[in-house]
Structure 1
């Protein structure tokens, strides 16, 4: 098995101890916001062609910036402009700290100085992909899969059901995004990162951030 394949498997593993288990990829905010649990599959598929597109393209652009010796500050700015909810941005930067801690131990050659002061998760994943030799296409699929798998795993804790069913939903979400993988993998300019927002999810996230009782941070 190739080293890039192993890196992709490592980063896509929910057991990776970086704190990702504390996030639901918008699933808990959606449920507490009033979304019926029976619409969870639709949520996963919708995110795969909206917010996950932004995350994947941001990661690819950050990868390109690191590989070409540039700064990922412009990439971070493009991501922030397409992620208007402060709660979503805060959750992403918190996750990024865990990934950055991992990267510093496993890939000490990571150019931390080229990253923004408070990078988002997608920028850190892009930097890891650059130093670990993960191809852009694999990075795109990793980001999309991880979002769907995180949401599905969270649902099993919030609204228990047959895990086989939710596994099928992950495949459906990845299939929904597959036609866009090649174009996302070709992104080099932060200006062309898709502006595929999900306003309802952003609203749910903001409301969820103010709750006193919640299982997941976001």
Structure 2
């Protein structure tokens, strides 16, 4: 992966990702036993992470082709029905946009994004501006989701960081055979549509809690 991809995947990057648990806190708050955290990470890698990765790739290609991004945003929204998840994604997107404005102040694409863009669309736009290869973008998106969930787990249910890091690698390796196909996507209609209804229900309930560490 390129240096930029590794930078964007670094949890220390001040883009707001540290305030997001990739569904881990909602799952634990909803009653999921901590012992099932690895299974949750694998399930998300096979479902919501693929939606995010596919959206980012199609957004990247739309920017490069000077095509409108609203169809990409709409395709993502159709695959992400829970308002709580959409709101959390929009908050993450604002963090990435602050970074993009600092690194690429002359880029006009960031001023022409859809209203309240999702994280994946903004990542795709960044990838286009920064010449980040599509395959790197896919791996970045999948890794970031798994690493975010793992980081949140260690805060909520402290355990062995080495073991939890292995779960990140497991999640990435599990979907590695899908990387090439995802990197070739150009049509919003072809973005994966694998959903995670239980995770979305947990996120919706979590959004109403008054005591929580993460947005979602």
TM-score bracket, normalised by the shorter chain, equals: over 0.9
- In structure 2, the partner of 1:184 is 182
Tell me how far apart the structure 1 counterparts of residues 158 and 54 of structure 2 sit (CA, whole Å): 32
Aligned pairs for 1:194-205 (under 5 A) are 194-205=192-203
Tell me what 1:167 maps to: 165
Q: Could you say which residue in structure 1 is the equivalent of 2:18?
A: 21
Shift of 1:114: 3.3
- 1:12-31 CA deviation, whole Å, 9 max, x = no partner? 00000111111100000000
Question: Could you tell me how far apart the structure 2 residues matched to 1:150 and 1:177 are?
Answer: 17
TM-score normalised by structure 1 residue count: 0.97
| Corresponding position: 1:39 with 2:56 | no
Question: 1:172 & 1:114 partners in 2: Cα distance?
Answer: 37
**Aligned length, in residue pairs:** 215
Q: Distance in 2 between matches of 1:215 and 1:118?
A: 23
Structure-1 separation of matches of 2:158 and 2:194: 30
| Structure 2 match to 1:146 | 144
Q: How does 1:28-67 map to 2 (within 5 A)?
A: 28-67=25-64
How far off is 1:117 after superposition?
1.3
Distance of 1:144 and 1:39 partners within structure 2: 19
- 2:67 paired with 1:82: no
* Distance in structure 1 (CA, Å) of the matches to 2:74 and 2:131: 25
1:93-126 superposed Cα distances (whole Å, 9 cap, x missing partner) = 0110010111011012151243101100000000
Query: What CA distance in whole angstroms lies between the structure 1 residues aligned with 2:151 and 2:183?
Result: 26
User: 2:18 & 2:89 partners in 1: Cα distance?
Assistant: 13
Out of 154, 157, 161, the position equivalent to 1:156 is: 154
Cα deviation code 1:133-180 (max 9, x no counterpart): 100000000000000000000000000001000000000000111111
Aligned-partner SS, 2:14: coil
Q: Which of 94, 97, 115 is matched with 1:97 structurally? A: 94
**Corresponding residue of 2:128:** 130
Q: Which runs of 4+ in 1 moved over 3 A?
A: none
Cα distance in 1 between the residues matched to 2:3 and 2:180: 21
